């Protein structure tokens, strides 16, 4: 009795007959696995058979041996699958526990870090020293960068000087980049928000937005709902903050067009 694995059943039969030195018609065969072509080379299966020669005196015994062999192979296969499944579950459980442990450590670290509750004057002094050191070799002619507390949750960073306006860039692209960079540092280190002022750019933007929002507010008073025009960069956040302050009882949220442009909608909560 032998076990043969081949690409097709026909080739498996031929191989079995060759090894047992008998014709294919004299074989007692049990098909363990039928071949499968798969798709694009995936999920392909070979043919597996267990065979014995009929001409042996114990052909019935051979059949019984084949059956026992197949059952044994299936049992071993099932045991291997069960072990692999158990191993997979164990691995996933370990990964989950490790992830939860890291999350817990991070949360614990964050709590311990931010619980230090540094005095505002210490934070201001540290940021002022480090940000001036960061920009001291800048090719632009700017004054010393001023740092102070805008409110209890927000740090004010001010750039001024002859070339300060050049840090804003066309359509504010440099302002956005600097704001993003400095915010990630301030928020990640001190858990504070940032108000970045460069050559009164933010102040001018806020004043222009206040004038624009007057018309939007008139629409809200008349229709109980409105939406802004498409707004760019910092204007979205300025408008969002101002509208939420003016209408705390309404639903005020940012929406995007198909091409990614931003605008703000104002509506009653029961409309959503």
**How does DSSP assign 122-175, residue by residue?**
HHHHHHHHHHHHHTTT-SS--PPPEEEEEETTEEEEEE-STTGGGGT-GGGHHH
Residues 220 and 159 reside in one and the same domain: no
Closest-CA residue to 149 (of 157, 139, 161): 157
Closest-CA residue to 23 (of 54, 68, 66, 2): 54
Residues 127 and 169 reside in one and the same domain: yes
CATH of the domain at 195: 3.30.300.20
Residue 66 has pLDDT above 80, yes or no: no
Average pLDDT across the chain, whole number:
81
Nearest 10 degrees: Cα torsion 161, 165, 167, 169: -170
Residue 41 has pLDDT above 60, yes or no: no
Question: What per-residue confidence (pLDDT) applies to 86?
Answer: 66
Q: How far apart are CA 77 and CA 36, in angstroms?
A: 19
Q: What is the pLDDT of residues 172-212, one digit of tens each?
A: 888 888 988 999 999 999 999 899 999 988 889 889 999 99
Domain range for 56 is: 2-79
Residues 69 and 52 reside in one and the same domain: yes
Domain count, the chain: 3
Residues 141 and 209 reside in one and the same domain: no
Note whether residue 238 is domain-resident.
yes
The pTM assigned to this predicted structure is 0.49
Note whether residue 126 is domain-resident.
yes
Residues 50 and 19 reside in one and the same domain: yes
């Amino acid at each position: 009795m032998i076990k043969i694995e081949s690409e097709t059943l026909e080739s498996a039969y031929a191989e079995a007959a060759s090894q047992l030195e008998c014709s294919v018609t004299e074989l007692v065969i049990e098909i363990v696995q039928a071949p499968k072509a798969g798709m694009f080379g995936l999920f392909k299966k070979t043919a597996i058979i267990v065979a014995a020669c009929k001409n042996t005196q114990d052909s019935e015994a051979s059949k019984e041996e084949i059956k026992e062999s197949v059952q044994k192979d299936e049992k071993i296969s099932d045991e291997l699958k069960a072990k692999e499944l158990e191993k997979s579950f164990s691995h996933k459980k370990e990964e989950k526990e490790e992830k939860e442990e890291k999350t817990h450590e991070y949360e614990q670290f964050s709590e311990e870090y931010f619980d230090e509750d540094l005095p505002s004057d210490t934070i201001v002094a540290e940021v002022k020293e480090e940000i001036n050191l960061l920009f001291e070799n800048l090719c632009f002619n700017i004054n010393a960068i001023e740092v102070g507390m805008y409110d209890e949750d927000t740090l004010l960073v001010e750039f001024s000087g002859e070339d300060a306006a050049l840090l804003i860039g066309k359509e504010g692209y440099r302002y956005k980049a600097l704001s993003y960079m400095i915010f990630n540092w301030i928020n990640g280190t001190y858990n504070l928000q940032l108000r970045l002022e460069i050559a009164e750019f933010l102040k001018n933007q806020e004043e222009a937005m206040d004038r624009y929002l007057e018309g939007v507010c008139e629409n809200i008073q008349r229709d109980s709902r409105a939406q802004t025009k498409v707004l760019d960069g910092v204007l979205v956040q300025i408008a969002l903050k101002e509208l939420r302050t003016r209408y705390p009882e309404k639903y005020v949220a940012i929406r995007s067009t198909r091409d990614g442009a931003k605008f703000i909608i104002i509506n009653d909560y029961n409309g959503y």
